[in-house]
Amino acid sequence: MIKHPNVGCYEFTVEPFSEDFTSRISWANMGNLMLRCAQYHADSHDFGFGPLSRERLSWVFSRLTIQLDRRPQTGEEFLISTWATGVQRGFTTRLFEVSDLDGRAYGWGHSIWALINLDTRQPDDMSRLLEGGFGKALLPTEDFPLGKPSRIRVTAEEPLSTRKVLYTDLDVNGHLNSIRSIDILMDQFPKADFDDDRLRRVEMAYAHEAFFGEELGIFRNAPLDDGDSRIYDLEMRRPDGLPAVRARLEFRNDAV
């Protein structure tokens, strides 16, 4: 467990109805909690959505990677720590660590965010934030267990399935919810793939917004098997052919 004044640490319990059928917290709910911690931490350092909206600025979520050696079970208490690491090419990186109450880490997260102008919907200069709370809160991190995000390229030409964007898929901005996409893509696999908590790593790359009523094609490459795990690259594609979301799911070949 990382301890530093720039690190926010938040305690949670796996509540009833936040689990999947294995009685472990669902991947989507873990993702939601990570984003909640990002908001708590940003607000505490005065660079959250509230302060930025007064300047007509907002954060846009670009990528999320979650890797869990195990998932906490119903009633189990756990910690999520988070911090922002720096600015590179107009993006900032935020890291997460999941641990038990004794500080033993068993999960990690990596996310990438851009700053946009709400009036133009175009990227804004993030360096303008470095003189305030954002700059003071950064914690450069060289050695992190998760590694860099993967380059995801889906070459499948025929859709595995299609999925219309419906009311329960929408976020506050009226387009496909970033975390909801995790559930939709996991639904492309048989239940047996999740029986023994074999899913180890989820990577999400958000490309273009998808809106209510759009019919998305879901494409999936054949798996890559390295002996220890099976890796699937997937893409949710809009009717105009543009990718809405790309993802990589890594399943252990052996049960936990």
Query: Is it the case that residue 256 has pLDDT exceeding 70?
Result: no
As a whole number, mean pLDDT of residues 130-156 equals 86
Amino acid symbol at 41:
H
Count of alpha carbons within 13 angstroms of residue 132, beta-carbon side: 14
CA distance 139 to 234: 32
Query: Is it the case that residue 9 has pLDDT exceeding 80?
Result: yes
Question: How confident is the model over 193-250, as pLDDT tens digits?
Answer: 998 889 999 999 999 999 999 999 999 999 999 888 999 999 999 999 999 999 999 9
CB 246 within 8 A of CB 154: yes
pTM: 0.93
Residue-by-residue DSSP string for the chain: ----TT-EEEEEE--TTSB-TTSBB-HHHHHHHHHHHHHHHHHHTT-SHHHHHTTTEEEEEEEEEEEESS-PBTT-EEEEEEEEEEEETTEEEEEEEEE-TT--EEEEEEEEEEEEETTT-SB--GGGGTTSHHHHH----S--TT-PPP-------S-SEEEE--GGGB-TTSBB-TTHHHHHHHTTS-GGGGTT--EEEEEEEE-S--BTT-EEEEEEPPPEE-SSEEEEEEEEE-TTS-EEEEEEEEEESS--
Look at residue 203 in the predicted model and tell me its pLDDT. Answer: 97
- From the list 93, 83, 96, the residue with the least C-alpha distance to 136 is 83
Name the burial class of residue 46, with classes exposed (0-12), middle (13-18) and buried (19+) by CB atoms within 10 angstroms of its CB.
middle
Average pLDDT, the chain: 91
Instruction: Using a pLDDT cut of 90, give the percent of the chain over it.
Output: 68
As a whole number, mean pLDDT of residues 26-44 equals 95
CA distance 26 to 17: 9
Instruction: Using a pLDDT cut of 70, give the percent of the chain over it.
Output: 98
Look at residue 222 in the predicted model and tell me its pLDDT. Answer: 95
Look at residue 88 in the predicted model and tell me its pLDDT. Answer: 77
Using the Cα atoms of residue 188, residue 190, residue 193 and residue 197 in order, give the sign of their dihedral. Answer: positive
As a whole number, mean pLDDT of residues 189-194 equals 93
Look at residue 255 in the predicted model and tell me its pLDDT. Answer: 65
CA distance 6 to 94: 12
Full set of structural domains in the chain with CATH: 1-144 (3.10.129.10), 150-256 (3.10.129.10)
Query: Is it the case that residue 132 has pLDDT exceeding 90?
Result: no
Query: Is it the case that residue 31 has pLDDT exceeding 70?
Result: yes
Record the tokens describing residue 30, joined without a space.
């873990």
Query: Is it the case that residue 136 has pLDDT exceeding 90?
Result: no
Record the tokens describing residue 21, joined without a space.
């059928």
pLDDT band at 129 (very low <50, low <70, confident <90, very high): confident
Amino acid symbol at 111:
S
